[in-house]
């Protein structure tokens, strides 16, 4: 199993360290997507250049073509559900890679990932 971490999780991690994310990174199961790298680069993460470099160095999830994205959106009726281009691109990447799940903090995005049985939900520790 690999976990494709959405930019929402990364941004939260930059604000307040996420130990679960750190553990996944140490286990080598985190994959990235070029669009997540670009989204993070649009912001102001700490140590910006090194963070962007680290994200870019992670194994990359597959990148769907525009035709694949449009076909998936129509076939699965993902339009009008509150998810944008990057979200749909990550879903397509996870579908192209059988063992990849998506971890996001975005509720609408997580609903779509769950419908596809591609949602990663970290276990909560008490």
Q: Rounded to an integer, what distance in angstroms lies between the CA atom of residue 85 and that of residue 25? A: 26
- The per-residue pLDDT for 125 is 57
- 45-58 pLDDT, tens digit per residue, is 999 999 999 999 99
Q: Rounded to an integer, what distance in angstroms lies between the CA atom of residue 111 and that of residue 104? A: 10
Residue 126: pLDDT band with limits 50, 70, 90: very low
Q: Average the pLDDT over 75-94 and give the result.
A: 92
Return the CATH number of 2-115, one of 3.40.50.300, 3.30.2310.20, 3.40.50.1010, 3.40.190.10: 3.40.50.1010
Please report, for the chain, the start and end positions of each structural domain, with discontinuous segments joined by +: 2-115
Q: Rounded to an integer, what distance in angstroms lies between the CA atom of residue 117 and that of residue 23? A: 23
């Amino acid at each position: 199993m690999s976990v494709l971490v959405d930019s929402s999780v990364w941004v939260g991690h930059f604000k307040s360290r996420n130990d679960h994310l750190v553990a996944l990174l140490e286990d080598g199961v985190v994959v990235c997507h070029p669009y997540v790298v670009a989204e993070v680069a649009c912001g102001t993460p700490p140590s910006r250049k090194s963070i962007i470099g680290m994200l870019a160095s992670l194994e990359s999830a597959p990148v769907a073509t525009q035709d694949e994205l449009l076909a998936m959106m129509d076939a699965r009726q993902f339009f009008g559900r509150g998810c944008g281009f990057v979200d749909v691109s990550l879903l397509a990447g996870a579908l192209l890679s059988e063992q990849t799940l998506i971890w996001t903090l975005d509720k609408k995005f997580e609903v779509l990932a769950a419908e596809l049985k591609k949602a990663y939900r970290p276990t909560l520790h008490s």
